[in-house]
Amino acid sequence: MSSDYFGFPADGPHQPSRRRFVQGLAIGGAVAGLGLWPRQSWSQTSPGNTNVLTGTQFDLVIGETPMNFTGRTRPAVTVNGSLPAPILRWREGTTVNLRVSNALPANSIHGHMTSIHWHGILLPASMDGVPGMSFDGIHRGDAYQYRFDVRQGGTYWYHSHSAFQEQAGLYGALIIDPLEPEPFSYDRDYVVLLSDWTDLAPDALFSRLKKMSDHDNLGKRTVGDFMRDAQKNGLAATIEDRKMWGEMRMTPTDLSDVNANTYTYLMNGTTALGNWTGLFRSGEKVRLRFINGSAMTYFDVRIPGLKMTVVAADGQYVHPVTVDEFRIAVAETFDVIVEPSGQDAFAIFAQDMGRTGYVSGTLAVREGLRAPVPSIDARVILTMDDMGHGGMGAGHDMATMGKEPAVPSTQAGAHDMSKMGAQGTGAMTGMDHGAGGMQTHPASETANPLVDMQTMAPAPKLDDPGIGLRDNGRKVLNYAMLKSAFADPDGRDPSRTVELHLTGHMEKFAWSFNGIKFASAEPLRLNYGERMRIVLVNDTMMTHPIHLHGMWSDVEDEHGNFHVRKHTVDMPPGAKRSYRVRADALGRWAYHCHLLYHMEAGMMREVRVEE
């Protein structure tokens, strides 16, 4: 194999002087050897770390750079010519100033306006970077000065909140050194930023999803599958199963809207052939900061031969838990500690949830080594239980779902449960079901052409590792294992509870809260200083990562106790999860599914915190 496949150092963080692209590999703006620094020198830039920017003053230029990950050159949206964008290293307790300039060309397919959102960062609303909500956006030829105090530590990321620029490459890691010593030690520190790339223009991909939402679902069940299922489960049960899915006009193999049939998966801006490599010496503790910066892809991550000890989730410390594998939702971050020894190389393996593709890298004692890459796991079949329809026997008419009397809705479809005696109960006990033992739904879902299904028996599912990860012979992380290393930072019981349903129509590729698209929805209004509870019910067959800007989401356990602090809450199909929010940030904030095309299709709300 040509040595071209293993990459070369870039000429610098801006446009390379010559392209070094081969099939399946692009260094692009990324630096070969990204992340190869011991802990003590992390904050120092050096020839091998030109993609790390540190300090309090930053100049970030958003433009277009040609990239080639598949053999076809396409224009990516980059920061300082780099994909991913440079790693930004801040310190808690400082004030950062970031001048962001828009240098997109006049003929850019990615639009004329841009923005940067600092994901998971506590800051004034005017600094949050959501055009049309917190500011006007950054027009071509203009610049915007972000300035705010850094009030937290940990692993975060940043990305565009304009059109589909995040899909096109505008995302980067954000590392904040905490004021207080961390409760764990390590010798080396690497960012592992996972993402998805498409050669299609992102708006063309969105248009295709609207016309053919199942374009990438090439694994639909066949006659052969029917015969095998009939032999295993009986003919009547198999016919009933197919009937139920048919009446919902859905397929149990449709786990993700876009997969490796369209996407090329990247690790730190390179493909599996590029073999991103992090170096170690035997016996060292290595910190890996996993960030899912993809537009639409959930990844299942493992390092065969190594245990991973999870020490932080979404930038916040958790009680250490050691696992073999974890699922990372879009926009989540997990920090893990590994102790590689006994062999010279270990594969970092991240397969997509739909089992259509993967990206891999290597931990090694020297450059150029590879470890065996495992095979992709078998594709997954959804069940009615996954969909929150467990226990629905033969004869249940799926077409009648959502026709039961719905409770009145307030705030444009949000249930305000404050008068229902739910305070302090966690919204999981005594609120789970309406009349007849079934989950009730907002009136705005009833006979709604944008809602194709409703869950009847949702559950928190905190101890469920997820579809495709159950009983796979490996110890897999779940939310029940993620316990914050600190007590509830607020301590108050919520004064009211608002319930929101995640809704959609698969064929129409329509996504919303409570069947109401963003363009038609009234803001969700919070009172400044209040402690309130949000209950999410996933009425769809898709998994959704839900992100509230500007405030923490303190996930509760099944009994309503504070469990784990997150900025992005994963919502599997048929799940019902609750979390507390302290409305301590005045202004207008975005609240949305972090699957980019779901947000663009309508699964978004505005949250207003008012005095």
Retrieve residue 492's tokens. Answer: 């108050």
The per-residue DSSP string of 138-171 comes to EETT-EEEEEEE----EEEEEE--STTTTTTT-E
Residue 383: per-residue pLDDT = 76
User: Does the predicted model carry a pTM greater than 0.75?
Assistant: yes
Q: Tens digits of per-residue pLDDT, 482-506? A: 999 999 999 999 999 999 999 999 8
3-class SS at 578? strand
**Which H or E run includes 246?**
helix 235-247
8 Å CB contact between 163 and 172:
no
Task: Report the distance separating Cα 551 and Cα 564, nearest Å.
Answer: 14
pLDDT of residue 133: 93
Q: How many percent of the chain have pLDDT more than 70?
A: 77
| DSSP-assigned letters across all residues of 337-390 | EE---SSSEEEEEEEETTSS-EEEEEEESSTT---PPPPPPPP----TTTTT-T
Check residue 93 and give its pLDDT: 98
What does the pLDDT read at residue 171? Answer: 98
User: Residue 591 phi/psi, 5° resolution?
Assistant: -145, 115
Nearest to 596 by CA among 499, 501, 511, 505: 511
Tokens of 250: 């859905």
- Contact residues for 595 (Cβ-Cβ < 8 A; gap 6+): 257, 295, 296, 330, 542, 544, 545, 603
Q: Collapsing DSSP states into helix, strand and coil, what is residue 513? A: strand
Strands 531-538 and 496-505: what pairing? parallel
What are 197-242's pLDDT values in tens digits? 999 999 999 999 988 756 656 444 444 544 565 566 666 664 555 4
Q: For 318, list phi and psi in degrees, rounded to 5.
A: -125, 160
Q: Is 555 helix (H, G, I), strand (E, B) or coil?
A: strand
pLDDT of amino acid 143: 98
- Report whether pLDDT(397) > 80: no
Both tokens of residue 563? 């469990």
Q: Give the closest residue to 319 by CA, choosing from 492, 555, 563.
A: 563
Q: For 90-118, how does the pLDDT look when each residue is reduced to its tens digit (9 = 90+)? A: 999 999 999 999 999 999 999 899 999 99
Q: CA-to-CA distance for 353 and 573, rounded, in angstroms?
A: 13
Task: Delineate the domains of the chain, giving CATH numbers in brackets.
Answer: 3-186 (2.60.40.420), 398-610 (2.60.40.420)
Cβ-based neighbour number of residue 393 at 10 Å: 8
**22 has a pLDDT exceeding 60:** no
Tens digits of per-residue pLDDT, 150-192?
A: 999 999 999 999 999 999 999 999 999 999 999 999 999 999 9
The Cα–Cα gap between 108 and 110 comes to 5
Which of 192, 245, 197 has the alpha carbon at shortest distance from 220?
245
- The predicted model gives 273-283 an average pLDDT of 95
pLDDT for res 240: 59
pLDDT at position 416: 62
Assess whether pLDDT exceeds 70 at residue 43: no
pLDDT at site 423: 31
* Confidence at 434, pLDDT banded by 50, 70, 90: very low
Give yes or no for a cis peptide into 340 (omega within 30° of 0): no
Rounded mean pLDDT, 270-290? 96
The pairing of strands 568-571 and 496-505 is unpaired
* Encoded tokens for 168: 């096109």
Whether the pLDDT of residue 63 is over 80: the answer is: yes
The confidence band for 507, taking pLDDT boundaries of 50, 70 and 90, is confident
